Amino acid sequence: MNRVAYINARLLDPASGLDSPGALISEGETVVDFGPDLSPPDDAQIVDCKGLCLIPGLVDMRVQLREPGEEYKGTLASAGRAATAGGVTSMVCLPNTNPVIDDMSVLEFVARRARKLGLAKVYPYGAVTKGLMGEELAEIGLLSESGALAFTDGVKAVSNAQIMRRALSYASNFGQMIIQHPEEPSLAQGGVMNSGETSTRLGLSGIPREAEIIMVERDIRLAEMTGGRLHFAHLSTGEAVDVVRRAKARGLAITCDTAPPYFALSEIAVGEYRTFAKLSPPLRAEEDRLAVIEGLQDGTIDAIASDHAPHDEESKRLPFAQAAFGGVGLETLLVITLELFHNGHLDLLSALRLITSAPADLLKLEAGRLKKGAPADLVLVDPGRGWKVDADKMQSISKNTPFDGRPVQGVVLKTVVDGRTVFEKDA
């Protein structure tokens, strides 16, 4: 049995609040012990962490994989490499593949293929509606039995209120959560960036903030009516965060996440028609960005997901109005989240919790924490080391990052999945 001892580490476990110097020992795929006064077994392979941070592998709860169906944008292998380079050891994929993950065979194909690659672990969501068409419920019960972690129509909102009501009601029979992309489609239709002064100046049609707020308000009513578990993805407006805050105060089973662009960038990043900054939901005004940070600080926003959406050059090298929505995010999830710590918005453990144990808890995943007997999914990080995001050097097949050229702090030196080193930074 392969034993590894990680010594001279700063052990960080956001789930338990642990932050102390010490060592961690793994045996095979499992963590067997960790703590301050641990001496490594004689037969262990030694990894000297040199005082740097050893943290649980990141859990990314919103990733678009593109395989099967659009392998020219990204594959399970390229996503796995991008994930492990960014410290992500578990990723949950949207069902918007081709074919759609709305039946067991596609779900099992993705899970099996990912296991074979042996990079980051992949867990699929099931579709809420057949073919993501928003008209007929998918087989929620059967998909649930096959291992779907929750249900979502991915980048499409479930816009029909009656369908949403039935989905919430039906999913709750299986203890399952519905994840909504909160955007009222008829209000957002034709819009390409946030509605406001910047869109007017650039002559681009806008997506009003109300498209998000109205959908959040409607769905909270439906969740209250059905007693269903509801989660909103990538909140981008201060008012939507506030609506969720009030719903939580009333004791409703509502949770939400946001993505790094919504607390690190504003609509100004669109600049002179930069298509890498064309995201869904769109980048909002500065006051919304600050309100999202406030939602992260007070716990209204439960987690941060990368919202990884790879696109090939042809989809992005177009006039802004015609370019595809979305940016890659697996390799920048950790470093942009660390900005919340470096800028003094959150302490280190609170920032890390949002990308480790918090998403794992939402999806009932055995991941995102340092625990005896748990899988040895670990990341060695130098949180203070600076570098510059360079799209051309990314592991992802697609290079469409909204953070290209941004100076950041925090370097992943080693990523371990089930006790195996799957990524190591060149010296």
Tell me the catalytic residues. Answer: 307
The contacts found for 104-110 with CB under 8 angstroms, 24 or more apart, are 104/139, 104/142, 104/143, 104/146, 106/68, 107/143, 107/146, 107/147, 107/148, 108/146, 108/147, 109/68, 110/65, 110/67, 110/68, 110/76
First to last CA, the chain: 29
Strands (E), 247-389: 254-258, 303-304, 378-388
**Contacts of 354 by beta carbon, 8 Å cutoff, 6+ apart:** 296, 301, 302, 303, 304, 337
In angstroms, what CA-CA distances link 105 with 112, 116, 126, 153? 10, 16, 12, 18
Strands (E), 199-284: 206-207, 229-232, 254-258
Residue 234 near residue 205 (C-beta atoms within 8 A): no
Q: Helices 76-85 & 104-117, crossing angle to 10 degrees?
A: 50
**223-236 in b/e burial notation, b at 16+ Cβ within 10 A?**
bbebebbbbbbbbb
Give the number of C-alpha atoms closer than 13 A to the C-alpha of residue 362, restricted to the C-beta side: 31
Q: Which amino acid is at 305?
A: A
Q: Which amino acid is at 296?
A: L
Radius of gyration of the chain (CA): 21
Distance from CA of residue 186 to its chain's centroid? 26
Tokens of 152: 């979502």
Give the 3-state secondary structure of residue 366.
Answer: coil
User: Rounded to 5 degrees, what angle do the CA atoms 346, 354, 51 make?
Assistant: 70
